[in-house]
Amino acid sequence: MARAQRRANVAARIFGLLLLIIGLSFIGLLWFDILGLVDARALLYPVLKTVGLATSDRRINPEDPLLLDRERLIKTEKEMALQREDLDIRAKDLAKKTEELQQKMAALADREKAEQDRENSFNQLKKMAEDKKANLEQNAQYLTSMPPSKAVSILLQMGDEDIIDLFRVVEAQAKAQGQYSLVPAWLALMPPDRAAAIQRKMVRKPEN
């Protein structure tokens, strides 16, 4: 029992001496490195890397004439990397805004096209109404210039709605010229049932 305890004490002393020797050796290497006698960092780097204390592979030589230039270059590269990240963010933001602007422009173009189509439709309807009015006025003058019986024979070939529109124009022209309208005479020469139907429709259809 006592022998085992003595052996444990001796082993502990030996282990302690080994740790002391290793510590003194480590301190000596650092001191020699400071004095410039050895490059302790190169010797200790594998050990420090194994225990996780070596954070960078880059070593700085204070006697390197290009040290300042290299440090400036590293700093410039870091700044450029940050600038590239900022530019990437701005480029993405610009692309998003450009897409939104294109969508708004497309919507505006669609609205303008729809408005143009409505305007074109209105102009076409207006032109059609003007052409119809011009044709009615010309036909009214043509019919009033011929004998009533001949005019009635032409009117009977037309539809009731067209006859009514023509009668309205004839009455308006006669009123403007201070003359009597030929519409009653034309109705009197038409078959009674056709004349009655036209008169009923004229009452129901308001003037434009």
pLDDT tens readout for residues 106-165: 998 888 888 888 888 888 888 888 888 888 888 888 888 889 999 999 999 989 899 999
pLDDT at 67 over 70: no
Secondary structure (H, E, C), 18-74: HHHHHHHHHHHHHHHHHHCCCCHHHHHHHHHHHCCCCCCCCCCCCCCCCHHHHHHHH
Q: How far is 204 from 208, CA to CA, in rounded Å?
A: 13
User: Which pTM does this prediction carry?
Assistant: 0.45
d(CA 19, CA 25): 10
Q: So what's the pLDDT on residue 55?
A: 46
> Domain-by-domain residue ranges, the chain?
9-59, 61-143, 146-208
Q: Tell me the percentage of the chain whose pLDDT exceeds 90.
A: 16
**For the CA atoms of 176, 181, 182, 183, what is the dihedral angle to 10 degrees?**
110
pLDDT in tens, 89-120: 999 999 999 999 999 999 988 888 888 888 88
